Amino acid sequence: MIFERSRILVVEDDPTSLRMLAEILRHEHELIIATNCNDALKLLAEKPDLILLDLYLGESKGIEVLSRVKADPELQDIPVLCVTSSTETNDIEEAFHFGAVDYITKPYNEIILQSKVNTFLDLSRKTALLHEQANTDALTGLSNRRQLDAQLPQLWLRMADEAKPMAAIMIDLDDFKGVNDYFGHPVGDATIKFVGSTLAQCVDPFSDLVFRIGGDEFVVLLPGVDFSGALKLGETIREKVEVSSLDMLPSAGEEGGFRLSGIEITVSIGIASALAIKTVSPLLLIEKADAALYQAKEAGRNTVYP
């Protein structure tokens, strides 16, 4: 199996062991070296793909580094392989208890070391890929409904801590069944992709989040944005979809080469905003935006409804 070059944080204070380790691993991997606990804790900021951790680091214990990794949501998925001499079963048990994935004994056996390192790197890459796929809408590449469910409460709590408002914009294509029926499903797909990329262009990529939550429905979450800000963005989105749909759909052009000149795509939009409060469910925000979207449809479509 071919492995791409990964970044491994090696935490080891014994120069001889370090040299041996480096000799075995440096050809396939990029090594970040720490010879004490403090340096290791600082180097965690580099977000290595795997950590090889000697449990004996002079005065300090390697277990400190391990527990720090496992306590940090940003780092806890990094596999930690502990290094020890073969007789210290208590320490191995403790390392497993704190979340190590496996251990390696000194002196190093080249095959065992390489196999364990590569196995856990491969497993961690596959887990990350699965996680990403589970949270991404395959057609648009946007985050999906599952991701909305996960991020909404987190964002809401963060805004509540900062005593800030949060807005939600709900978007649904107008008469989209007609596009599918008249032009066919591939053109319908290209239309959904077009609306998804138009939304991504309209929002602030550093703070706002765009989701495709189902068929022809999208949600934009705007942390820190009040009602008037959301209304303004809603109108920008509505207008941009209407105007740019008259040009060729870029994604359709790339894949199928067809032009949709002459088809006017429009969206209806519901807006809601509220001051984030911990004791109030953020689902109310989504429900309000959904109710407003329903009103926008009732009002004749191609409309932003507050």
Catalytic annotation, residues: 216
How far apart are CB 263 and Mg ion at their closest, in Å?
A: 15
Return the number of the residue (188 or 223) whose C-beta is nearest ligand GH3. 188
Return the number of the residue (120 or 176) whose C-beta is nearest ligand GH3. 176
Distance of alpha carbon 206 from alpha carbon 237, whole angstroms: 18
**Residue 301 contacts which entry, Mg ion, ligand GH3, none (Cβ below 5-8 A, type-dependent):** ligand GH3
How far apart are CB 211 and ligand GH3 at their closest, in Å?
A: 14
**Residue 189 contacts which entry, ligand GH3, Mg ion, none (Cβ below 5-8 A, type-dependent):** ligand GH3
Residue located via tokens 């408002």? 165
Per CB under 6 A, residues contacting ligand GH3 are 139, 172-177, 180, 185, 188-189, 192, 215-216, 297, 301
Distance of alpha carbon 33 from alpha carbon 10, whole angstroms: 5
CA 171 to chain centre: 22
Dihedrals φ, ψ of 141, to 5°?
75, 5
Distance of alpha carbon 24 from alpha carbon 22, whole angstroms: 5
Distance of alpha carbon 305 from alpha carbon 252, whole angstroms: 30
**Residue 180 contacts which entry, ligand GH3, Mg ion, none (Cβ below 5-8 A, type-dependent):** ligand GH3
Return the number of the residue (103 or 218) whose C-beta is nearest ligand GH3. 218
How far apart are CB 183 and ligand GH3 at their closest, in Å?
A: 9
Q: What is the dihedral of CA 137, 141, 142, 148, to 10 degrees?
A: 30
How far apart are CB 238 and ligand GH3 at their closest, in Å?
A: 13
Dihedrals φ, ψ of 30, to 5°?
-90, 125
Return the number of the residue (84 or 144) whose C-beta is nearest ligand GH3. 144
**Residue 232 contacts which entry, Mg ion, ligand GH3, none (Cβ below 5-8 A, type-dependent):** none
Return the number of the residue (103 or 176) whose C-beta is nearest ligand GH3. 176
The terminus-to-terminus CA distance of the chain in angstroms comes to 55
DSSP state of 179: H
Non-local (6+) Cβ contacts of 205 within 8 A are none
CA 10 to chain centre: 27
As separate numbers, helices (DSSP H) first and strands (DSSP E) second, the chain gives 11, 12
Dihedrals φ, ψ of 52, to 5°?
-105, 115
How far apart are CB 73 and ligand GH3 at their closest, in Å?
A: 33
